[in-house]
Amino acid sequence: MKKPYFPLFVDLSEKKVYVIGAGTIAKRRIRSLIDFTDHLTVVAPEVNPELNTLEQEGRIAILRKKFELKDIVDADLVIAATNDHTLNNDIYEYCIGENILVNVCNDKQKCDFYFPGLAMTDQVVVGVTANGTNHKMAKKVVEKIREMLGECL
């Protein structure tokens, strides 16, 4: 039996974070990360208006191009969120070889970390995961925590 993931809070403010892809899952990951880093780069040939707006606000950078491994040579953390399983695997193999933390969105066996459900206020951040297995339960727990945090304010 695999051990559960350890909940670790990390300062990403100066870390270089890359999200490869700009689909639905990539957008969710970007929304989760954007408040935690000043160096978030999206690599995708095309992006939607929401990501364009974030770029215009200076909150993310976008490389509008087909991904190449050289794009992440200076990365600290990479999210592979494309619909191309071969490309996601290539990203994973590169990151493992370079000791870059990686999350392959469509393969939990290729994830150094999971994305928690987040409940946040200005002074409190709570992350919840069900070890990547029961997303509905984790979501319910996050909703309850958000209610509790709202009561504390």
Structure tokens at 141: 């727990």
Average of per-residue pLDDT values in the chain: 91
Closest CA to 130 of 1, 4, 2: 4
Q: pLDDT tens digit string along 7-53?
A: 888 999 999 999 999 999 999 999 999 999 999 999 999 999 999 99
Round to whole Å and give the CA distance between 84 and 89: 9
Minimum mean pLDDT range among 3-12, 47-56, 130-139, 140-149: 130-139
The mean-pLDDT minimum among 3-17, 70-84, 106-120, 124-138 falls in 124-138
| For residue 3, pLDDT beyond 80 | no
Comparing CA positions, the residue from 110, 113, 81, 107 lying closest to residue 94 is 110
Tell me the backbone φ, ψ of residue 58, rounded to 5 degrees: 80, 15
Closest CA to 45 of 30, 72, 60, 63: 63
Cross-strand partners of 18: 41, 78
pLDDT of the residue at 74:
97
Q: If you write DSSP's letter for every residue of 14-47 in order, what string do you get?
A: TS-EEEE--SHHHHHHHHHHTTT-S-EEEE-S--
Confidence of residue 67 (pLDDT cuts 50, 70, 90): very high
Given a cut of 90, whether residue 89 has pLDDT beyond it is yes
pLDDT for the residue 117: 85
Residue 116 CB coordination number (10 Å): 17
Q: pLDDT band at residue 69, thresholds of 50, 70 and 90?
A: very high
Tell me the two tokens of residue 62.
């976008």
For residue 133, pLDDT beyond 90: no
Give the pLDDT confidence score for residue 106 in this predicted structure. 85
